[in-house]
Every structure is written in structure tokens, then in C-alpha cells.
């Protein structure tokens, strides 16, 4: 399996801390993360990770960019302005609209929202993107839950 890039928000450390007595579960979660990066790594995956982190609030992911991933002329801070920022192209906007709806209310997905991403990526690409998004959000939800329960140490 392809090696992943750094975990800028420290979520891997929190997973290892909370699940320290379950290395088998830690390994499965790490494998999912690595598969996600291998299948859908790069700029758009990073854009949706940052935006999803900000939409989830407090999950640590939204404020830190992954080293080695070039976002182009935008910064992690600019991701919040994706609907109007001129540096985001139509595929970026389709991916970010999809990801925002996913994080806020997955049941509210509409054909009109999904169509631009499916048209650009194809059915297999949409499936890969969706699976990567599930991994991203799963990690955020785990971290946020553990932080709220006081199970994870102090993190940024």
C-alpha cells in the first residue's frame, strides 16, 4: 500500500492514544486512511478535508494544511470562500459542495448536487471520492467525540 502523507492535525496520535489497548483497530483505521490517500489523495481530497473540518467545528482538521499537498493559489484559510473565490474551478466547487452537504446532512444529497461531480469524475471516480470522504469524516467524528468526552489529551 502507498505511504501516506503526514497527519497535520494529529488525529492519528489521538486514535492511538484512545485505542492504545486495541492495536488491531488502530491498524484498521490507519489502513483506511492510507487507502483513502492512495485512491483519492492530493489537492481535492485536502480541500474537502480542510473544509469538512471547519464545518464539523473543533475537530482539529480544518485549521491545518497537510505538508506536501499543494493547494495552488489558495490557502487552507481560503477554503471557506470556495463558492466565490476565483482560484477554485468548477470541479473544486462541485467537490466542495458535495463534501459540505455530506458533512451537514448526507440525507439531503440531491441529484442536482451530485451530477457535476459524477459528470467530472465518472461513476468510479465518484465512488472513490465518496469513500475517501467517508474516511475523512469518520476520523473527524471520532476525534471530536473523544475530545468532548475528555478521552483525548490536549491537542490543537
Output DSSP code: residue 62.
G
pLDDT in tens, 15-28: 999 999 999 999 99
Output DSSP code: residue 5.
P
d(CA 150, CA 84): 38
CA distances from 53 to 82, 111, 130, 152 (A): 14, 24, 16, 17
Give the pLDDT confidence score for residue 29 in this predicted structure: 92
Give the pLDDT confidence score for residue 81 in this predicted structure: 92
Helices vs strands, H then E, count in the chain:
5, 0
Give the pLDDT confidence score for residue 51 in this predicted structure: 87
pLDDT in tens, 65-79: 777 788 888 887 888
Give the pLDDT confidence score for residue 63 in this predicted structure: 66
pLDDT in tens, 77-135: 888 899 999 999 999 999 999 999 998 899 999 999 999 999 999 999 999 999 999 99
The C-alpha angle 88, 36, 15, rounded to 5 degrees, equals: 110
d(CA 65, CA 60): 11
The chain-wide mean pLDDT, for the chain, equals 85
19 in helix, strand or coil? coil
Amino acid at each position: 500500500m502507498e505511504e501516506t502523507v503526514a497527519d497535520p492535525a494529529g488525529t492519528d496520535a489521538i486514535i492511538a492514544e484512545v485505542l492504545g489497548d486495541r492495536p488491531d483497530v488502530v491498524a484498521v483505521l490507519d489502513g483506511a486512511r492510507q487507502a483513502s490517500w492512495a485512491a483519492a489523495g492530493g489537492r481535492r481530497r485536502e480541500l474537502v478535508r480542510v473544509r469538512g473540518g471547519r464545518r464539523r467545528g473543533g475537530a482539529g482538521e480544518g485549521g491545518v494544511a497537510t505538508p506536501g499537498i499543494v493547494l495552488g493559489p489558495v490557502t487552507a484559510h481560503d477554503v471557506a470562500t470556495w463558492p466565490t473565490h476565483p482560484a477554485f474551478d468548477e470541479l473544486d466547487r462541485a467537490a466542495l459542495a458535495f463534501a459540505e452537504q455530506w458533512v451537514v446532512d448526507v440525507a439531503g444529497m440531491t441529484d442536482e448536487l451530485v451530477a457535476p461531480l459524477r459528470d467530472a469524475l465518472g461513476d468510479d471516480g465518484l465512488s472513490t471520492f465518496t469513500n475517501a470522504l467517508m474516511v475523512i469524516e469518520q476520523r473527524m467524528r471520532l476525534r471530536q467525540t473523544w475530545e468532548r468526552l475528555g478521552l483525548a489529551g490536549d491537542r490543537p
